Amino acid sequence: MGAITTIAACLAAFALLGCGARTHNLVTEESSGAITMGTFRHEGLGDTAMVLKFEGQSFKASGFVIKRKQDLADLKRQFGPSKHYDQIFSGLDTDHFVYSAEPLLRAGNGVTLRCFAIWRAGGSPAGNCVTVEGTHIYFRFE
């Protein structure tokens, strides 16, 4: 009975470790120069969150929705009737999902950045934000 308890405890620990939130850091070389710092958190048990430091101000958003899409018609054209397509259609192969988010980041003084991020399964978010003046700033996370 001790071995079964030990195995169950190890599996539970592994499952809990796998449920942590995934956090991405800003790639400054591939983002607009006015952005000096940033993080993007999704998945897991914690709230979603995005933080950008833009022109010296810290902008934050949390609890925004992550959308998940999959173009089954296009995937069927690509893979045709096959075992691979059957796995995609049944949900066993999740590598073909595309995720997106539209957080509204807010600074302490109330100024906002409306952002749009997109990424493929297993990838990193990238996109842009628009200032209230209409300026587009681009970001990419690792």
Using alpha carbons, list the distances in angstroms from residue 60 to 74, 85, 92, 109.
Answer: 36, 39, 35, 12
The 10s digit of each residue's pLDDT in 71-96 is 656 655 666 776 655 555 555 555 56
DSSP state of 26: B
Share of the chain above pLDDT 70, in %: 66
Domain chopping of the chain, boundaries: 21-140
DSSP state of 68: E
pTM: 0.73
pLDDT at 43: 74
More confident residue, 6 or 125: 125
- Token pair 């006015």 is at which residue? 34
More confident residue, 91 or 52: 52
Is the backbone of residue 56 left (phi > 0), alpha (psi -120 to 50) or beta?
Answer: left
Per-position DSSP letters for 71-123, written without gaps between them: -HHHHHHHH-SSHHHHHHHHTS--TT-EEEE--EEEETTS-EEEEEEEEETTS
pLDDT at 22: 83
CB neighbours of 125 closer than 8 A, spacing ≥ 6?
24, 40, 42, 99, 101, 117, 118, 119, 140, 141
